[in-house]
Amino acid sequence: MIGVEDHLQRCLDGVQPLDPIDLALLEAQDCVLAEDVVSPMDVPGFDNSAMDGYAVLAADVAAASSEHPVELPVVGDIPAGSTTAQHLAAGQTMRIMTGAPLPSGAQAVVPVELSDGGVRTVLLSAAAPSGQHVRVAGSDVRAGDRVLSAGTLLGPTQLALLAAVGRARVKVHAQPRVVVLSTGSELVDPGVTPGFGQVVDSNGIMLTAAAIDAGARPYRVGVVRDEAGTFLQTLTDQLVRADLVVTTGGVSAGAYDTVKEVLRGLGTVWFGKVAMQPGMPQGFGTVGPDATPIFTLPGNPVSSYVSFEMFVRPAIRKMAGHRGLFRRSEMATALEGWSSPPGKLQLARAELGTAEDGSRVVRLSGAQGSHVLGGLARASALVVVPEAVTRVEAGDEVRCLVLDRRAR
């Protein structure tokens, strides 16, 4: 039996970040940036108004108030999108819209609400110190600024920044394409009412969804029967679209554990026991002409999910170019006691919460059997109980891996 850390290291050593590719901005969402992005331009590119109003010289409106408005001739009208440079002389004003270029000579903008809205002449009823409601060129980004660093995850706001600094395409790590294969002759597709002895392929749905959350582009192949030829043919067919393969089922000691039987024969996949509970039977290696990495996860649903969390998710994140590979963890006080198997790292499904005094507390999310999906679905954390600990007591401080869906 090998330790969790050793197996994790084996898995991480077996995958590499995918080569950078050049993508259009909206195709790059959820990808990790593979270049430092330096802006070639100032943003904003020109001084412009932050308000709909009147461009003025500060001195011309210094004495303006609601009791004593200042009257100025309106010598121009500048809508957003105006591309002709204009000049404002002392003693005049121009009507200007939000985002429109400030005429040279102008120093400030009086909002339209502080005027009578005039179009030939206007009464301005407030002073405007120099710079008021003006967005200065380069005040957001200066030409030559590094605006985003390699390793940044691209979401809506990062993509907006890239567009604003003139980029239509960007270099990112490709998202790993993950093929999910469920093995087992007892399995039926979701939506099919299982007959006696049949089980719905919930793992295929779970692992595919987990792969999306981890930042991959998954393909759920569906159910593959426990038949060596069928499994090998399906796997071979799927390799063309896989950067990584994840199988579930067929890796313990059963007479029909096809995954193990077939892949053992190839000699490129390690099978063994990892000192954790759940998720003891594991396999990792490569398959096919391109040495595509493959994880063979156990079939028990909870074991399958915990194995994904511990080994597959960090591997996907490494392939996707992430710097941080692991879940955030936090300490919490156990609200109840439970036992843990000796010599194994236990990953207990649990609900993390906050007590009235503001401290973090955790309790099990139900029965801990490897088949108990209800408790898994309620879990917001996995409590990590070290190998040497055989009992957690109420009041113990325990480390929790936070299963935060939005945490990329």
Residues that bind ligand MOO (CB under 6 A): 277-280, 298, 300, 303, 370
Q: Is the dihedral of CA 326, 331, 335, 337 positive or negative?
A: positive
Piece of 12-20, 114-122, 294-302, 346-354 that binds ligand LQZAQKY5 (CB under 6 A): 294-302
Q: Decide if residue 269 touches ligand LQZAQKY5 (CB under 6 A).
A: no
What are the backbone angles phi and psi of residue 364, rounded to the nearest 5°?
A: -60, 150
Residues within window 360-379 making contact with ligand LQZAQKY5, judged by CB under 6 A: 370
347: which residues sit within 8 A by CB, 6+ positions away? 276, 277, 278, 279, 306, 309, 310, 382, 383, 384, 385, 401
Q: Which is nearer to ligand MOO, 70 or 187 (CB)?
A: 187
CA dist., res. 103 & res. 123, Å (int): 20
What are the angstrom distances between the C-alpha of 235 and each of 47, 123, 151, 272, 397?
A: 60, 78, 32, 21, 44
Q: What SS3 class is residue 379?
A: coil
Q: Is 285 in the site for ligand LQZAQKY5 (CB under 6 A)?
A: no
How many C-alpha atoms does 21 have within 13 Å on its Cβ side?
A: 13
Q: Which two tokens stand for residue 308?
A: 């994904």
Q: How far is the CB of 212 from ligand LQZAQKY5 (least distance, A)?
A: 17
Does position 307 interact with ligand LQZAQKY5 (CB under 6 A)? The reply is no
Q: Where are the beta strands (DSSP E) in 125-200?
A: 134-135, 146-148, 169-173, 177-183, 187-188, 199-200
Q: Which stretch binds ligand LQZAQKY5 (CB under 6 A): 6-14, 112-120, 247-255, 341-349?
A: 247-255
CA-CA distance, 275 to 206, in Å (whole number)? 23
Q: How far is the CB of 273 from ligand MOO (least distance, A)?
A: 8
**Closest distance of CB 260 from ligand MOO, Å:** 14
Beta bridge partners of 293: 286
DSSP label of 294 = E
Distance CA 348, CA 380 (A): 11
Q: Closer to ligand LQZAQKY5 at the Cβ: 85 or 253?
A: 253
Among 248, 282, 292, 346, indicate the residue that binds ligand LQZAQKY5 (CB under 6 A).
248
Residues 18-37 that bind ligand LQZAQKY5 (CB under 6 A): none
Question: Among residues 21, 199, 275, 361, which is the contact residue for ligand LQZAQKY5, using CB under 6 A?
Answer: 199
Choose from ligand MOO, ligand LQZAQKY5, none: what does 249 bind? Cβ within 5-8 Å by kind.
Answer: ligand LQZAQKY5
Q: Is residue 303 a contact point for ligand LQZAQKY5 (CB under 6 A)?
A: yes
User: Which residues bind to ligand LQZAQKY5, rule: CB under 6 A?
Assistant: 182, 184, 186-187, 199, 201-204, 248-254, 257, 278, 280-281, 298-301, 303, 370
